[in-house]
Amino acid sequence: MIDNATYLKRSEEYESSARSYSRKFPIAIKKAKGVVIEDVEGKTYIDFLCGAGTLALGHNDDEINSLLIDYIKSDAPLHTLDMITPAKDEFASTLFSCFPEDFRKNAKIQFCAPAGTDAIDAAIKLCRIATGRRMVISFSGGYHGMGQGPLTLMGNLHAKQHINGLSSDVQFFPYPYAYRPAFGVKGDEGVEICINFFERMLKDPESGITLPACVVLEAIQGEGGVIPAPKKFLQAVRRVTEELGIPLILDEVQAGIGRSGDFFAFEESGITPDCIAISKAVGGSLPMAIMAYNKKLDKWDAGTHAGTFRGTTLSMVAGERLMKRVNTKPFLNEVKEKGDAFKKHFEALKSECPIIGDVRGRGMMLGIEIVDPKSKEDICGAKAASGEIASELQRTCFNNGLIMEKGGRNGAVMRCLTALSIPREHLDKGIDILTESIKTVNKKYC
């Protein structure tokens, strides 16, 4: 039997230094079913990462696998560029049925190359063509992909600080971060300050900021630390952008397809964006990215945007079935209930474990911010975020049989992106492992 170490050594020899997950989780995965994965040495783990939220129904869902096998056996085409197939037509019809009514009635879609960064790239290109403007507005803490275009919109400096030649046509605004507000004011007043600043800077003829081609944001920031935007903030951004004729792009790559407890995370606020970037879970565990948009922006010509793998029909077959299963009230209500149980448990644990600074999120997009309990409080009473303690907690979880990713400022936020369909027994087991791991690490630092 080849052990984990042998596979990891081989990977180090042939794979680039940019690899990341294999460094944090040094195993070779042999099997995966639901939210349980098994390495080549026979050890099992609860998967709270699930492809960074891609595996909405977990690994190797029986129904999805059966559909894919039947489709392959039927000799149906597996790749058609943007030519039409019955599978594509069925996928598109189902996707349109999942759009909110106000968006659906004017919607068109562009199949993109199979990653979220491609959908964002397409949205920016479309808005620049439609408006004739160049500048793009993004938000601190935002994450929109690793392509050269979307990378300019990223809040995280580490990912882009060594890359020369990134576009300078990006203006960043503060995102309402309730635990660490940008202007040092918590609660509704802090949100109002963010709203006022955004509106005044775009409407002030002396602000120095030209009218942008578009505004890009996440209704729940994912890699930025699982930070939900308040309803009133999203509503204000939509109001201002409509008043000024600025297309609004909602990045739903991670937060969409039921992750938040709504099919799209922006739906809670009742707004209607101009563009939606969709990827990860929409392919039913296979690669897929789509940019949906208001037809008033449809100013590009044939071939203006393309991508070889925009016609991968296996992703359409799997995604069509996944959307039908996810987009039901019982399924989405269960996502909310499981997420509420997670938050309630760890909010109660805060008083016992001071390394927990904040617990937040919606649905099954959840985060626990880890802090240094001996650090000085900031102006809002928050202790310093500790990536060091979070990294130790991540390693402890892994050693105890739980795979869980970090993110946020200083890599200090433990993030739960497990399958939306996770059985309660596996969710409870993961919560138990995380709880005991937090208690163990907490003892060391308190």
In a 13 Å sphere around the CA of 56, the CA atoms on its Cβ side amount to 32
DSSP, collapsed to helix, strand or coil, labels residue 411 as helix
Burial of 193 (C-beta count, 10 Å sphere; 0-12/13-18/19+): middle
Token pair recorded at residue 19: 């690899």
Which of these, 357, 440, 398, lies nearest to 49 by C-alpha position?
398
- Confidence band for 282, pLDDT divided at 50, 70 and 90: very high
**CA distance to 129, 139, 384, 389, per residue, from 372 (Å):** 47, 26, 6, 7
- In the chain, the domains with their CATH numbers are 4-60+333-445 (3.90.1150.10), 76-326 (3.40.640.10)
Sheet holding 248-251, edge to edge: 107-111, 290-294, 275-278, 248-251, 214-217, 136-139, 170-173
pLDDT at 302 over 90: no
Give percent of the chain above pLDDT 70.
100
DSSP, res 296:
G
Q: Where are the alpha helices (DSSP H) in 216-261?
A: 231-244
Q: How many residues does the chain have?
A: 446
pLDDT at 1 over 80: no
Burial of 191 (C-beta count, 10 Å sphere; 0-12/13-18/19+): buried
Which of these, 286, 280, 291, lies nearest to 253 by C-alpha position?
280
How far apart CA 322 and CA 281 sit, in angstroms, is: 8
pLDDT for 164: 78
Lowest mean pLDDT among 77-81, 219-223, 246-250, 315-319: 77-81
**Residue entry with tokens 């945007």:** 305
Q: What is the mean pLDDT of the chain?
A: 95
DSSP, collapsed to helix, strand or coil, labels residue 410 as helix
Task: Please report which helix (H) or strand (E) contains residue 22, including its range.
Answer: helix 21-24
Which of these, 88, 62, 67, 65, lies nearest to 77 by C-alpha position?
88
Give tens-digit pLDDT for 218-237: 999 999 999 999 999 999 99
Which of these, 134, 126, 95, lies nearest to 305 by C-alpha position?
126
Token pair recorded at residue 108: 């068109």
C-beta separation of 117 from 144 below 8 A? yes
Give tens-digit pLDDT for 149-205: 888 888 888 877 777 777 778 999 999 999 999 999 999 999 999 999 999 999 999
Residue 85 phi/psi, 5-degree rounding, is -140, 160
Token pair recorded at residue 240: 């201002």
Task: Please report which helix (H) or strand (E) contains residue 358, including its range.
Answer: strand 356-362
Residues in a beta bridge with 37: 32, 45
How far apart CA 135 and CA 265 sit, in angstroms, is: 25
How far apart CA 142 and CA 176 sit, in angstroms, is: 12
How far apart CA 5 and CA 13 sit, in angstroms, is: 12
Lowest mean pLDDT among 10-24, 339-353, 388-402: 10-24
How far apart CA 65 and CA 340 sit, in angstroms, is: 30
pLDDT at 446 over 90: no
Provide the greatest CA pair distance for the chain.
69
How far apart CA 118 and CA 278 sit, in angstroms, is: 10
**CA distance to 58, 82, 164, 195, 336, per residue, from 362 (Å):** 19, 35, 36, 22, 7
C-beta separation of 382 from 375 below 8 A? no
How far apart CA 418 and CA 401 sit, in angstroms, is: 14
Give percent of the chain above pLDDT 90.
87
pLDDT for 174: 97
Q: Where are the alpha helices (DSSP H) in 177-312?
A: 187-203, 231-244
- 303 or 433, greater pLDDT: 433
The residue type of 43 is: K
